């Protein structure tokens, strides 16, 4: 079982809705990530939080808004999404500066469908 | 040209076969090389981790890195149906927070 927990597993929303994806880890990791994955494609990095501060934003549209309330939690707030935003959204964590570079622990993902 | 090239397959082999998966890359700054395995409807999981050049073995899995050729490989011995998954190579440079992934190779092991 993964030690990165994502909720909900599935989400269907309309283009005018506001929803949030949640991610939690209790491994003491200090870096957390949001990735987007389309079918038969590799994960695409969206955001990185390092020590609870946003360190990377890969020019993601403002309809996606990340939040890191504390070192264990990561949220992704969704508003006015488009059908092309339908994808698997993956949360990951890593030890950060003290850990092995590139060693990420992924959650099982939240499958988002935008109607 | 993509920074990391990986044949997407699909690749289908009989149970017990030796599987060879490969990636090439162009960025000589890459020092950390990973193979992630992703089962259908699941998140990726780290399978093998290698720093710089050389070989690493873990059970039926062997990872090889040839930095001079900018080429990495994953070998699976005595392949099992449970190895059926998508295998993603990934790499990054020193201190990097962003991994560069290959396209992923879909592998099916037939009983």
Q: Which of A102, A103, A107, A108 is the best residue to mutate to test the B interface, defined by the most B CB atoms within 10 Å of its own CB?
A: A102
Test B99 with A102 for CB contact under 8 angstroms: yes
- Residues B60 and B75: their CA atoms lie apart, in Å, by 8
Mean pLDDT, rounded, of chain B: 95
| DSSP one-letter string for chain B | --SEEE----EEEETT--EEEEEEE--TTEEEEEEEEE-TTS--EEEEEEESSEEEEETTEEEEEETTTTEEEEEESS--GGG-EEEEEEEEETT-S--EE---EEEEEE-
User: pLDDT digit string (tens) for B40-91?
Assistant: 989 999 999 999 888 999 999 999 999 999 999 999 999 999 999 999 999 9
| Closest alpha carbon within chain B to A46 | B98
B interface mutation test: which of A21, A32, A42, A107 has the most B CBs within 10 A?
Answer: A42
- Three-state secondary-structure class, residue A66: strand
pLDDT tens for each residue of A9-44: 999 999 989 999 999 999 999 999 999 999 999 999
Closest CB from A2, A41, A56 relative to B97 = A56
- What are A42-75's pLDDT values in tens digits? 999 999 999 999 999 999 999 999 999 999 999 9
Q: Which residues of A touch B (CB under 8 A)?
A: 2, 4, 31, 40-43, 45, 48, 50, 55-56, 58, 90, 92, 100-109, 111
pLDDT per position as a tens digit, B1-37: 789 999 888 999 999 999 999 999 999 999 999 999 9
- The residue among B111, B100, B90, B104 whose CA lies nearest residue B40 is B104
pLDDT for residue A2: 60
Q: Which residues of A touch B43 (CB under 8 A)?
A: 2, 4, 90, 92, 106-109
**Mutation target among A3, A36, A101, A109 for the B interface, most CBs of B within 10 A:** A101
Q: How far is A43 from chain B (nearest CA, A)?
A: 7
Burial environment of residue A94 by CB neighbours within 10 A (0 to 12, 13 to 18, 19 or more) = buried
């Amino acid at each position: 079982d993964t030690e990165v927990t994502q909720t909900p597993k599935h989400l269907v929303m309309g283009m005018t809705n506001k929803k949030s994806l949640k991610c939690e880890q209790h491994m003491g990791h200090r870096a957390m990530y949001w990735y987007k994955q389309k079918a038969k494609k590799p994960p695409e990095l969206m955001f990185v939080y390092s020590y609870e501060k946003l360190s990377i934003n890969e020019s993601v549209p403002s309809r996606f808004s990340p939040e890191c309330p504390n070192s264990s939690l990561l949220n992704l707030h969704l508003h006015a999404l488009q059908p092309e935003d339908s994808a698997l959204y993956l949360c990951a964590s890593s030890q950060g500066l003290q850990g092995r570079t590139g060693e990420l622990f992924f959650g099982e993902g939240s499958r988002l469908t935008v109607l | 040209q993509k920074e990391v090239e990986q044949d997407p397959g699909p690749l289908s082999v009989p149970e017990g076969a030796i599987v060879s998966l490969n990636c090439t890359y162009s960025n000589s700054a890459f020092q950390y090389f990973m193979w992630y395995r992703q089962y259908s409807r699941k998140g990726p999981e780290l399978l093998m981790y290698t720093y710089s050049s050389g070989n690493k073995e873990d059970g039926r899995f062997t990872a090889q890195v040839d930095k001079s050729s900018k080429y990495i490989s994953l070998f699976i011995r005595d392949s099992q149906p449970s190895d059926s998954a998508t295998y993603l190579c990934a790499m990054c440079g020193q201190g990097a927070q962003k991994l560069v992934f290959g396209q992923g190779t879909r592998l099916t092991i037939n009983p």
